[in-house]
Amino acid sequence: MLASSACFCAAQTGAPPPPPVQTPPTVQTAPPVSASPDSAGTPPAPAVPDPTPVKKPDTPQESRVTPPPSPATAKSLYVIGPLDVLYIRVWNNANLTGMVNVQDDGMISMPLIGQVKADGLTVEQLRQLIDTRLDEYIQHPDVSVDVTKNNSKKYYIIGGSSHPGPFPLNGKLTISEALAIAGGFKDFANKKKIYLLRGAKKFPYNDKEVSEGKHLEQDIEIESGDKIYIPE
């Protein structure tokens, strides 16, 4: 009865009831991670950078070696001169085919086309010229030109050679090759004092050195009109 009276008195006086007791929220913690024996006390490995691509050095281009001209090409590049003897062939035309001499003035003569200047022309240039001139008289002429005798280009061997005299210069030729073509030397020839005379210019040549593979730069290429002197 007294408790009811107390509650009743509190309600009459307007005092608030005591606040309820709040329980703090439970915080869930993750279980501790046990360190493995291998990783305990070991610092982390440094990051490995991405490998930089290595630039390959530029590969030099293969040098192109120009091959020597074929015999057919070398023949077509021969420069015709006075007194050369040519064989001119026109296919399927016997009247225009045959031997033709280059005259002293460098001209040749053929039926239908008359006089043609051959001196100073290569074999191929003369062939094309004849072909063009004949085209006025013959439909699609087929012309070929060959040098059967070289009389315009010569070199000379003088002195202690087994066979001195003039020799035709048909292509590239060195002093040593020219001396071999002439058949060698006489018994008392001075092989160390040979020289080539080209106009007023003198080129010494020691055959003993060249034959031993020494100072090969003196074994120069011969030109038309050169004279090789062999002292005795």
Residue 38 has pLDDT above 80, yes or no: no
Contact 83, 147 (CB under 8 A): no
Contact 95, 101 (CB under 8 A): no
Q: Which of 210, 157, 153 is nearest to 182 (CA)?
A: 157
Check residue 98 and give its pLDDT: 95
DSSP for residue 193: S
Check residue 44 and give its pLDDT: 58
Tell the burial category of 28 from Cβ atoms under 10 Å away from its Cβ (0-12, 13-18, 19+). Answer: exposed
Residue 81 has pLDDT above 60, yes or no: yes
Check residue 19 and give its pLDDT: 56
Check residue 28 and give its pLDDT: 55
Q: Domains plus CATH for the chain?
A: 72-149 (3.30.1950.10), 154-230 (3.10.560.10)
Which stretches does DSSP call E strand in the chain? 85-90, 98-101, 107-110, 114-117, 143-149, 154-159, 165-168, 194-198, 201-205, 227-230
pLDDT band with cut points at 50, 70 and 90 for residue 75? confident
Other Cβ atoms closer than 10 A to 179? 23
Residue 178 has pLDDT above 80, yes or no: yes
Average pLDDT, the chain: 80
- Beta bridge partner(s), residue 145: 88
Check residue 189 and give its pLDDT: 93
Q: How far is Cα 169 from Cα 228, in angstroms, rounded to an integer?
A: 13
Check residue 112 and give its pLDDT: 93
Residue 158 has pLDDT above 80, yes or no: yes
